[in-house]
Homo-oligomer: A and B are copies of this chain.
Amino acid sequence: MTDDPRSAGAPTLEDVARAAGVSRATVSRVVNGVRNVDPVIQEAVRRAVSVTGYTPNRAARSLVTRRADAIALVVSGAGVEPETARADSGTGASAQGEGEEHRDGGGTGDGAGTGTRSGGRAFGKDEDSGGGSGSFTAQVFADPFFGRVVTGVVDYLRPRGMHPVLMFAETSRAREEVVAYLRQGRADGALVVSTHAEDPLPGLIADAGLAAVLYARPARPVPVSYVDLAHQDGARLAAEHLLDRGCRRIATISGPLDVPAGHARLTGFQDTMARHGHPYVPVVEGRFTQESGERAMERLLAEHPDLDGVFAANDLMALGACHVLREHGRSIPGDVAVVGFDDSSAALACRPPLTTVRQPVEGMAAEMTRLLLDRLARPDGPVTSVIFEPELVVRGSA
């Protein structure tokens, strides 16, 4: 029984109630915009609220409403798996193993103080630094893709007064943490962006009966909504464009084949090429990074010096390919036409700007968010998924 009115802490409902001369219940009603409150009292309460500088305590509210009014945005992927060694889930079938270094520098994180100097190094082999430590987080943000996802999610959430909690889940430990986080009720649901197929997270979440929506269809079916792109159609657009402009010796730099999008873009491309009389298309597997695109292009050029068209499964690799082509004296699109995929910022960072297949990432992310919020509002609504159609954006490179 603290009979003392002015305590140290932040003002509570009680304080406002006292100031307005009403009960806590009434203040609560006004604050939550419940009807059935006399306009006069309503006004009095409002005044009391601003006088006291009251702000509702979220923990208390959540405790009773059982809602956090927050959602998690989690990037899930293979990444470094300390315990599982390397989860190199068979680098697909057809392609060549690339032998890309997957290991990274220290990572800024862990230990004691970061000291005062910068974090890790890694990435470039010869060049040492390079604007990104090797952590999973850094790898994720190295691709403009993720920034676009965040943009779409945030722009959808903000007008609704919500903000995403950013989480990463590349190890089984981290995945457990995500599940725990949700189970603790810190977030009402999760938006998960998987960078690899076979990602166990969607399954874990579904098993725990937690709400989630995925970006990209999960490898093994899970009763969870998702948004995805018609990757094959996108690859078809690229193939047709290259063919239409007269290219006849076309090659492709695929994405990692253990990533559904990588796989789909390749098969979509191959299928279309085959249908147009090109059953064999030279392909080198990349890792969706600029550097892997460069290496792949070097290789393609070495094995097929006469090629006149290249489809890279994303813009970053296309950008790398362009660099290599130019270094080898090939003009773009004169000698070799190049088509990318995504229409990310890399497309405009390239000279000439890339002709590319647009993936409306922001819109897809917004839709994903809408689906999650829908589901939170109607927990037993149907599990619906949305597939977006890509479109060709013609610029200078092809």
Which residues on A are within 8 Å of B, measured CB to CB? 10, 55-60, 62-63, 68, 70, 72-73, 107-120, 124, 127, 129-133, 135, 137-138, 141-142, 144, 146-148, 150-152, 154-156, 158-159, 161, 163-168, 174, 177, 180-181, 183-186, 290-291, 315, 319, 323, 326-327, 342-349, 351, 353, 358, 360-364, 366-367, 370, 386, 388, 393, 395
6 A/B residue pairs, CB under 8 Å, sorted by A? A59-B63, A113-B159, A114-B363, A117-B363, A135-B151, A141-B144
Nearest CB on B from A237, distance (A): 14
Nearest CB on B from A68, distance (A): 7
- Do residues B131 and A141 form an inter-chain contact, with CB atoms below 8 A? no
Docked CA distance A360–B156 (Å): 32
- Do residues A109 and B163 form an inter-chain contact, with CB atoms below 8 A? no
- Do residues A161 and B177 form an inter-chain contact, with CB atoms below 8 A? yes
- Do residues B150 and A166 form an inter-chain contact, with CB atoms below 8 A? yes
A139's closest neighbor in chain B, by CB?
B151
Identical copies in the complex: 2
- Do residues B150 and A118 form an inter-chain contact, with CB atoms below 8 A? no
Docked CA distance A156–B291 (Å): 27
Query: A370 and B156 in contact (CB under 8 A), knowing A131-B344, A151-B119, A348-B130?
Result: no
User: Which one of B138, B184, B386 contacts A57 once the chains associate, using CB atoms below 8 Å?
Assistant: B184
Q: A58-B184, A70-B165, A117-B363 are in contact. List 20 more A-B contacts (CB 8 A).
A: A55-B180, A57-B185, A59-B63, A60-B63, A108-B362, A108-B363, A108-B366, A116-B363, A118-B360, A118-B363, A118-B364, A119-B155, A129-B358, A131-B315, A137-B155, A138-B155, A141-B150, A150-B166, A161-B177, A164-B166
Nearest CB on B from A66, distance (A): 8
Q: Which residues of B contact A135 (CB under 8 A)?
A: 151, 155
- Do residues A133 and B155 form an inter-chain contact, with CB atoms below 8 A? yes
Docked CA distance A373–B141 (Å): 24
Docked CA distance A349–B118 (Å): 20
Nearest CB on B from A148, distance (A): 7
- Do residues B163 and A150 form an inter-chain contact, with CB atoms below 8 A? no
Nearest CB on B from A48, distance (A): 17
- Do residues A186 and B58 form an inter-chain contact, with CB atoms below 8 A? yes
Docked CA distance A381–B54 (Å): 27
Among A57, A342, A344, chain B packs the most CB atoms within 10 A around the CB of: A57
Q: Which residues of B contact A327 (CB under 8 A)?
A: 351
Nearest CB on B from A2, distance (A): 16
User: Which one of B116, B133, B164 contacts A151 once the chains associate, using CB atoms below 8 Å?
Assistant: B133
Docked CA distance A60–B58 (Å): 10
Q: Which residues of B contact A70 (CB under 8 A)?
A: 165, 186
User: Which one of B119, B127, B290 contacts A362 once the chains associate, using CB atoms below 8 Å?
Assistant: B119
Docked CA distance A158–B156 (Å): 26
Docked CA distance A323–B348 (Å): 11
Among A10, A117, A327, chain B packs the most CB atoms within 10 A around the CB of: A117
- Do residues B348 and A131 form an inter-chain contact, with CB atoms below 8 A? yes
User: Which one of B120, B130, B348, B364 contacts A124 once the chains associate, using CB atoms below 8 Å?
Assistant: B348
A62's closest neighbor in chain B, by CB?
B59
- Do residues A326 and B349 form an inter-chain contact, with CB atoms below 8 A? no
A132's closest neighbor in chain B, by CB?
B345
Nearest CB on B from A82, distance (A): 13
Docked CA distance A249–B152 (Å): 44
